Amino acid sequence: MKEYFTIGEVSRLFKVKIATLRYYDEIGLLRPEFIDEKNNYRYYSTQQFERLNSIKYLRALDLPISEIKDFFNYREINTLVEMLKKQKDEVAKKKRELEIIETKILRRLVQIEDAVSTTLDKISEVKLPEMRVAYLRHEYVIGDDIELPITELRNSYGINGEIFLGKIGVSISVSNLSVNNFDKYSSVFMVLEEGDQIAPSSVIIPERDYLRIRFKGTHMDAAAYYTRLLTYMKEYNYELIDDSIEITLIDYGITNDKDKYVTEILLPYTRT
């Protein structure tokens, strides 16, 4: 029976890269049984296979190399048990994080499907549930780059931009709406969802009634639709009670086809 194997043979047998085996040698995690001085070939014995299998198992559990080294240097049952318990907690944490991301993705899919199939250019009454919102009070003029204030908003609330899939929008103040000034926004906001950082300075928008219109286009096209909504409010005795909510449901982040852009305007109201 063959007793010694070259580094290439061990690599093929255990599906471990040669570079990884060399790294294990360099750090003292798994040294070859011997190195041929004539050709500098590394040779591993079958007795080392169990150690390599253990290393692969622990790495599959995503244990850091430093902890695996410590385990082999001071090997005993309690050390392994503590390592596995710690890793079990890490796995549970990652599982919760992935479940949150999955929920965000599913919610985003529903939002996109709703926006794609929505009726455009029609004013309707909707009741929306309570929303927790992160606000950045920032005067934004139509045509300004909105990405900078959005980045500032994420940073100030500690929101992970890599996995944030919630709604981002802008608001026009009641005072500007009352004088038909639709080119100045008073704030940028994010609708916070499960898993997002909930800062003390976030704002809860209560459940309430809105007049809503959705249209093809972006913030650049919104002025005419604000005029329609406010005219409708006046005609049918609605009273505006707070700033607008304006969200681009489909934009350049989803499609290159500008004809498919969809924006939503919500005006909170009470009946007079």
Q: What is the pLDDT of residue 165?
A: 52
User: Under CATH, what is the fold of the domain 104-271?
Assistant: Multidrug-efflux Transporter 1 Regulator Bmrr; Chain A (3.20.80)
Q: What is the pLDDT of residue 189?
A: 84
**Dihedral Cα 53, 59, 64, 65, nearest 10 deg:** 40
Domain ranges of the chain: 4-75, 104-271
State pTM to two decimals: 0.67
pLDDT in tens, 165-204: 567 888 999 999 999 999 888 888 888 877 666 666 678 8
The span from the CA of 196 to the CA of 101, in Å, is 10
- The token duo for 200 is 């003390």
Q: What is the pLDDT of residue 162?
A: 52
3-state SS of 70-139 is HHHHCCCHHHHHHHHHHHHHHHHHHHHHHHHHHHHHHHHHHHHHHHHHCCCCCCEEEEECCEEEEEEEEE
In this prediction, residues 147-174 reach a mean pLDDT of 70
The span from the CA of 91 to the CA of 99, in Å, is 12
Collapsing DSSP to helix, strand or coil, 65 comes out as helix
* List of residues 6+ apart from 228 with CB closer than 8 A: 123, 213
Phi, psi of 149 (to 5 degrees): -60, -30
In this prediction, residues 92-96 reach a mean pLDDT of 88
User: Under CATH, what is the fold of the domain 4-75?
Assistant: Multidrug-efflux Transporter Regulator; Chain: A; Domain 2 (1.10.1660)
> How sure is the predictor about 122, in pLDDT bands with cuts at 50, 70 and 90?
very high
pLDDT in tens, 32-41: 999 888 888 8
